Amino acid sequence: MVDISTCCASCSRIVNILLNLLLFLIGLTIIGLTLWIRLDDRFEYEIRSNLMNVTINQNSYDMINTKQQLQFGILVVFWVLLGYGLLDAIIGLIGMVSNGCNSRCCLGFYSFLAIIFLLVEVAVIVFVAVTKDTHQNTVIKYIRLTVQANNYDYNALRQRYGCCGSDQSAIGCPVGSLNCVDAVWNRLFEVILISLIVIGIKAFGKLITVILSCVPMCGTKYNTLVEVPAHTT
């Protein structure tokens, strides 16, 4: 006669291993994309080089201060994404191992880490939502200054986003053309929104893995890896 509890525990372990494998691969993908964007000079070359240019003879004081704020924000985002991907990969790896070994100790440790990371993800979503206006104001200020100066920064934005002028100045722009403030911020907001949705989906996935880990953790009779026989599956 088939033991229903054993069957459920085995199924939950298999599903959990697959979910954690997906989490592990997503973490590696985030690390790879983050490093590529950071290290590949060809990615958004003109916009990146203009942001890094803070020479006094080509920028006003307000422009230099705004660029430095954007540089700091980009640097913070880089390290956050890199750490986020690394933690994803580590937790995914621990999840695969802990569910594969069928040990209460390992499953409990994994569940603890997953819950902590889940709370961190929720905190990130809340933080981004609360500070959105501050980041938006910084980006808008930079674009308005570039339009006023009519410099290389402005030309790069016009070519990249197909825009002209700002929400405050549209001198020399065709009637009905999209201003650069709306063009740039709308694109950035789309990226932020998609990122938050992905984080939310991943947080929900972690919650599922924690719940699934409780099934084999309650069903297994082994507390540590030492007690698990070699033939156990």
Kindly list the distances between the CA atom of residue 95 and the CA atoms of 18, 120, 177, in Å, as whole numbers in the listed order.
10, 18, 51
Percent of the chain's residues with pLDDT above 70: 89
Q: And the tokens for 36?
A: 């590529």
pLDDT above 80 for 119 = yes
- Report the chain's mean pLDDT, rounded to a whole number: 84
Evaluate whether 110 touches 95 at the Cβ level (below 8 Å): yes
| Best-predicted range by mean pLDDT (126-130, 140-144, 226-230) | 140-144
Q: Residue 220 — pLDDT band, cuts 50, 70, 90?
A: low
What is the tens place of the pLDDT at every residue in 5-54? Answer: 567 777 888 888 899 999 999 999 999 999 998 888 787 788 888 888 88
**Residue-level pLDDT at 214:** 78
Cα–Cα distance list, 144 to 63, 137, 151, 153, 174 (Å): 10, 10, 12, 11, 18
Pick the range with the lowest mean pLDDT from 21-25, 175-179, 214-218. 214-218
CA distances (Å), 73 to each of 10, 50, 135, 169, 171, in order?
Answer: 45, 16, 9, 26, 31
Residue 215 or 190, more confident: 190
Q: What angle do CA 183, 184, 189 make, to 5 degrees?
A: 100
DSSP H or E run through 163 = none
Instruction: For 86-100, give one letter per residue: b (16+ CB within 10 A) or e.
Output: ebbbebbbbbbebbb
**pLDDT above 50 for 224:** no
Q: Which position has the token pair 């390290």? A: 79
User: How many Cβ atoms from other residues are within 10 Å of residue 169's Cβ?
Assistant: 14
* Closest by Cα among 144, 143, 172, 113 to 47: 143
What pLDDT score does 93 carry? 92
CA-to-CA dists, residue 224 to 27, 94, 100, 104, 133, angstroms: 28, 15, 13, 6, 49
Q: Which of these, 50, 209, 57, 51, lies nearest to 121 by C-alpha position?
A: 209
- pLDDT bracket for residue 68 (50, 70, 90): very high
Q: What does the pLDDT average to over 70-83? A: 90
Average pLDDT over residues 89-104: 85
Per-residue confidence (pLDDT) for residue 167, from 0 to 100: 86
